[in-house]
Amino acid sequence: MPATTRRKRVTKSPDDRRDDILRAGQRVFGTTGFERATISELADAAEIGKGTFYLYFASKDHLLGALWERYVDAIVSTTQEILDESDDWWPTIDRVMSALVGHAVENAELHRIVYGSANARALELCRQADQRVIDLMCEFVEQGTDAGAFQAGDTRAAFRMAYHAADGLLDDLIGQGGEGAGIEERRVVAMVLELVHRALGDHQYRPEFARG
C-alpha cells in the first residue's frame, strides 16, 4: 500500500495562524463561493486540520465576519487618523468619505463575497462591524453641528442616511463584477460628497464633475 501523505507540522504564532486562515478564507470564498465552501476546504487552503480551524473560528460565518471586521478596522484606523489630523469640518468630511470610497473599490472582491454570497448570520456580523465607522463619524458630525458647521435639522440622522446611501451605491456598482467593478472612482467620490454636503446643509456645494 502506498504511504499516507501527512501534513508537515509547522509551528506558528496564534496571530500568524489566524492570518493564514483569513487569507485562505478570502481565496476560497472568492473561488468556491460562501455557501458552497466547506470547513474542510477552508482548513486545507490554510494548511491546517479542521480541529485547528475551530480553535480560531466557530464557523465559516464567523470567519467571513472576521474578514469584514479586518476590512472595517482599516477604515476605522484611516478615519481616526483623518479626524486627528484635520481641524476644518467640511474638508475632513470630504477626506473621510473619499477614503471610504477608495477603500471599498480596492476591496471590491470582499464586498462581492459578503453581499453576494453571505447568509443572514454573516451579514449581521458585518453590519455590527460597519456600525463602528458610523458611530465614529456621527460623533464628529455632532461636534460640527455644535460648532455651526452643519445645518441639517437632524445632522446625525442625515449623515447616517447619506452614509447608507453611499454604501448601497458602492455595493450595487461592485456587485456588477469585474476587477474594481469598473468603477470610475473619482466620479463616485464626487457623487458621494455631493450627497453628504446636501444632507448636512451645504446646498451651495457643486460636485467636481459639474464644475466648469
Tell me which long-range contacts 70-78 makes (C-beta under 8 A, separation of at least 24). Answer: 70/22, 71/103, 71/107, 71/110, 71/129, 72/129, 72/130, 72/132, 72/133, 74/103, 75/99, 75/100, 75/103, 75/133, 76/132, 76/133, 76/136, 78/103
C-alpha cell at 195: 450627497
Tell me the whole-structure pTM to 2 decimals: 0.79
pLDDT confidence band for 211 (50 / 70 / 90): very low
pLDDT tens-digit profile of 32-68? 988 899 999 999 999 999 999 999 999 999 999 899 8
C-alpha cell at 94: 470630504
pLDDT confidence band for 176 (50 / 70 / 90): confident
pLDDT tens-digit profile of 6-20? 555 667 889 999 999
Taking all residues of the chain, what is their mean pLDDT, rounded to a whole number? Answer: 86
Angular region, 180: left φ>0, alpha ψ -120 to 50, beta rest: left
Say what the pLDDT of residue 156 is. 95
Query: 3-state SS string over 126-151?
Result: HHHHHHHHHHHHHHHHHHHHHCCCCC
Say what the pLDDT of residue 177 is. 62
pLDDT tens-digit profile of 101-154? 999 888 888 888 887 766 777 677 677 778 888 999 999 999 999 999 999 999
DSSP state of 208: G
